[in-house]
Structure formats: structure tokens, C-alpha cells
Structure 1
Amino acid sequence: MDYELRPATSDDYAYCYRLTKRNMYDLFCKHWGGWVPAEFRKGFSVENISMVIIAGKRAGYLSVIKEPTSLYIDNIQLSPAWQGRGIGAQLLKRLLADHSDVSVRLTTFEDNPAKRLYERMGFVVLEREGMTVKMEKNGPIRWCRRR
């Protein structure tokens, strides 16, 4: 499936909010006690977000935070109409290829269906806290020569 990425603008906020709430509401209620609009607003930074565009329309978004020695995937959301078509895998492959020199991290729920995709892409669980898991895919191992 062909898609494009474009930088988000403040005009994308309502779309991202509705999409995330639609996709994650049940999991947030189950594991964190509910949906908190102020938390979404606090974490929404257009400089970290790329909109997924298919056939000229928004199909989802990707939020990535660049850290000094790693990359943190803050959010990947696709419209239900586009889920299950390999787009999430394409987004992750592209992201991992573009940042193959650093560790890539994310946080998800143990029972989030996307966790299976992350595992297929080589992410491993580093830490569990209840049903929340922190996952990572390491960059290349750099071997040091002994002298």
C-alpha cells in the first residue's frame, strides 16, 4: 500500500485526538481507569508527528521523539479502515531503516493487538508494569577491538 508522510500541523489535532480515542479508549479504560483528554493534549507536539496520507486523505499518524541515544515511538495510530493492510509494518520498517544506528523504544499494553507486530519486527520486552510493557529494538551492535 502506498502512503505518504507529511508534517502535522495544529489543524491535525482534532483528527489525531478522535483517532487515538477511538482506537485506544477501551484499553485505556481497562488498564489506566479511563481516557484523560488533558493527557492527550499535553503529549501532542506537532514537531514530533507525521501524518499518514493515503489517496490524498489522512489515514493515521506517527509520533516519534528523538532522544540523545535512541528514538521513542510515542504513538502509531491508523484509521480502522486502513488497519490490517500492512501499513503499520511498512511504517515501522521505514522508521527502523532510517534509524538503524540507534535503539528504538515504545510502550504498549500486553493485550494490544499491535504488540504482535512489534514482536515480529524484532522488538523485545524490557520491562513490565502490570499490563504496560516497554519494548525496544536495538541498533547494530558495535564491537570494540582490544589492543
Structure 2
Amino acid sequence: MKPYEIEVVPGEASLNELSKGDYPDAGAPWRDTPGGGAADSGQPAVLSFDPVQACDFDAMADLRALAMQPSLERLDRFDPERSRRRLRAGFVPARMRWICLNGERVGFYSLFAHESAWCLDHFYLHPCAQGRGVGSAVMRLLCAQTQEAPMRVAALRASESNAFYRRHGFVRTGESEWDIEYERAAGPVS
């Protein structure tokens, strides 16, 4: 996938702080960008997508736990080991991409075709990248690239991601004990 320029809303924490301890494994996949990079300078940010390798599992499991912790705590279900097991069960690097903003890994997603639809199995952003337009930019790109078939996703009940998916054209199709299931119809992105 080629890089894209996007507008990013300035946040309380700069993305270069990811490598300064906000992330449980502060050294590994995060790189420091002196001065905060384009995301904090008012310049368009560059969004790109890197392939995932098997050796990325630990970093992705830590990021997933960090991104989901507030929602899981609201349900009294936060358990880092359970989170790792759930990611391991669906960890297929060929289906996954790192989400990079100005070269910094700020999240990841897993997208694959299943039966007659696309399945967005994982979509997580580091808390420093949330609420800044990064997720919306990624979602618009994913919807544009998969418009020939519906896209399905499930979101944890107590997660703010439910509103996010509804804003992006997903409609509720079902639910389970812990998740709400959504589908976005095939067709062009509006």
C-alpha cells in the first residue's frame, strides 16, 4: 500500500512520546522522531502500512492490550494474558499491516476475505494516536479498497469503537455476550 498524506489533529501527547515509556516495550518497534514529526508541526502527516512478520507478535500483543485496556476495565475483564491468547488465535501476518504515521508504528489491523465479505478482525491504535483522525483516515482507505463486498467487524460492548464504526457507515447486525457485530454494505465510500 502506498503512503498517503492526511491531516492529523494535534494531541495532548506527541507521537514521539511513544518511544519514551507510554508503550510497555518502549524500545522495540517504536522509533523516536525529534521534534514530533509532521504530525505535530502542522504539516500533512504521512500514513503508510508496513507488512507484519511473525516476530512482531509481542509488540502487537502489547499494543492491543494497551489500546483495549480502558474498555476492558469498564467491563471488569482486563486480563493481559487473555488479550495475548485472543490475538495469538487470529495472528496471521499475511493478513495484517502495521499502521505507520510519519514512519512511526502507531497501530495495526488485520483484514481478510471470508465467504462473501471482508473481515476486519483487528484494528488498534496506540492511545496517543487515538482521537487525532488517524483511525478515520485508515478506515476510509480500507473501505475504499474493499468496496466490492461488505466489510464485517465486531467491537467490544464498552468500547468507544462502536461509535467510530457507526460513523463510518457500519450498521449493527448482531451481538454476543461481549461484542457487538457490525457490517458496512458494499459500495463507494461517501
TM-score by length of 2: 0.67
Structure 2 matches for 1:112-123, cutoff 5 A? 112-123=159-170
Q: Which range is displaced more, 94-103 or 61-70?
A: 61-70
Q: Alpha carbon RMSD of aligned pairs, Å?
A: 1.8
User: Secondary structure of the residue that 1:100 maps to in structure 2?
Assistant: coil
**How many pairs align?**
140
TM-score by length of 1: 0.86
Give the partner amino acid of 2:66.
Answer: R
Out of 58, 61, 64, the residue aligned to residue 20 of structure 1 is: 64
User: Secondary structure of the residue that 2:88 maps to in structure 1?
Assistant: helix
The Cα of 1:62 is off from its aligned counterpart by 1.0
Give the fraction of aligned pairs with identical amino acids, expressed as a percent: 20
- For the pair 1:8 / 2:52, whether they are aligned, the reply is yes
- Cα shift readout 1:55-91 (whole Å, capped 9, x = no counterpart): 2221111111211310000111111111111111111
List structure 1 runs of 4+ shifted beyond 6 angstroms: none
State the alpha-carbon separation in 2 of the partners of residues 138 and 51 from structure 1.
Answer: 25
Structure 2 matches for 1:24-103, cutoff 5 A? 24-28=68-72, 30=75, 34-35=79-80, 36=82, 37-103=84-150
* Corresponding residue number in structure 2 for 1:110: 157
Q: Which range is displaced more, 27-36 or 113-122?
A: 27-36
Q: What are the ranges of 5 or more consecutive residues in structure 1 without an aligned counterpart?
A: 141-147
State the alpha-carbon separation in 2 of the partners of residues 5 and 138 from structure 1.
Answer: 24
Higher strand share: 1
User: Secondary structure of the residue that 2:108 maps to in structure 1?
Assistant: strand
